[in-house]
Amino acid sequence: MAKQLGFYMDASACTACKACAIACKDKNNLPVGINWRKVHEYGGGSWVAHPAHPDMLIPSSVFLYSLSVACMHCQDAPCVEVCPAGAMSKNADGVVLIDADKCIGCRYCEWACPYGAPQFDQAAGVMTKCNMCTDLVAQGQNPACVDACPMRALEFGELADLRARHGVLNAIEPLPSAEITQPALVVTPHKHAQPSGRGTGHVLALPEEGYHGRS
C-alpha cells in the first residue's frame, strides 16, 4: 500500500465533549455553518413498563455511543473522481485536498461523498473540507483535533501503523460501509457499537447547521 495518512478513533473512550470539533473550527477559522469535524451520537433501544409498577418505565436494550468524524481521506475517494475542474486531489501522503483556485463551486464532490465531508462556503463560492492540518503535520505536529481530545480518543499517523496498533475495523454505525470508499480510518468500537448497515438505532444529536451528511 502506498503511503496513506489517516485517523484512529476510539469510540469506547469518546464522551461527545466536542473539543475536537471546536479545535478544528478554531484552528481553521471556519464560518458559522461549516464544521469539518463533527461528533455523532448514535443510540437506540426502548422503554417498557415495569412488571410490578406499570406506571413506571424502565430501559430495554437502551444504548448510546459517540463517534468523532471528519474527512476520511479515502483511498478510493469519489470526490476526486467526480470533480470536473481538477480541484480535488490526493497528495503523496494520501491526504485529499481542495485547490480553491480551481474550484468552481459545482458541489459534485459534496454529492459524491458518503460522509458529508466537503462543505460549500457560500461567501467564498467554493468547497471546503478537512485538510488534516497539513501545515501542522509539516512541522511534525498532530492535527488540532487530535491534541484537543481530553480522552486521547483520537490519533493520527500512517494508516499501516494505526492498523498494526489498533486493528483494521474502519466502519461502525452510523458510518456507511467502508467498501464504498476505503476510508483511511481505524476504529475501536464501543461495546454497544453496531456494524454499518445493520444498525437498530439512529443519530440522536441534532445535525449541526450546514451539515448535509447521512443520519
Task: Summarize the confidence of residues 192-206 as an average pLDDT.
Answer: 87
Q: Which three cell numbers stand for residue 211?
A: 451539515
Q: Which residues have C-beta within 8 Å of that of residue 192, sequence separation ≥ 6?
A: 63, 64, 65
27: pLDDT strictly greater than 60: yes
**Mean pLDDT over the full length of the chain:** 93
Q: Which CATH architecture has domain 5-47+57-203?
A: 2-Layer Sandwich (3.30)
DSSP lists the bridge partners of residue 96 as 90
Confidence of residue 205 (pLDDT cuts 50, 70, 90): low
39 within 8 A of 207, measured Cβ to Cβ: no
212: pLDDT strictly greater than 80: no
Look at residue 34 and give its three-state secondary structure. Answer: coil
Q: Which residue has the higher pLDDT, 206 or 103?
A: 103
Q: Which residues have C-beta within 8 Å of that of residue 64, sequence separation ≥ 6?
A: 41, 42, 43, 192, 204
Nearest of 73, 78, 80, 76 to residue 159 by alpha carbon: 73
Task: Report how far residue 61's alpha carbon sits from residue 79's, in angstroms, rounded to the nearest whole number.
Answer: 38
Over residues 41-94, the pLDDT tens digits come to 999 988 888 888 988 988 888 899 999 999 999 999 999 999 999 999 999 999
Q: Which residue has the higher pLDDT, 188 or 205?
A: 188
148: pLDDT strictly greater than 80: yes
167: pLDDT strictly greater than 80: yes
Q: Residues 84, 175, 25, 8: what is their CA dihedral angle, to the nearest 10 degrees?
A: -110
Q: Which residue has the higher pLDDT, 211 or 80?
A: 80
Question: Residue length, the chain?
Answer: 215
34 within 8 A of 173, measured Cβ to Cβ: no
Integer CA distances (angstroms), 86 to 105, 109, 114, 181, in order: 12, 11, 20, 19
Look at residue 89 and give its three-state secondary structure. Answer: strand
Nearest of 165, 168, 172 to residue 196 by alpha carbon: 172
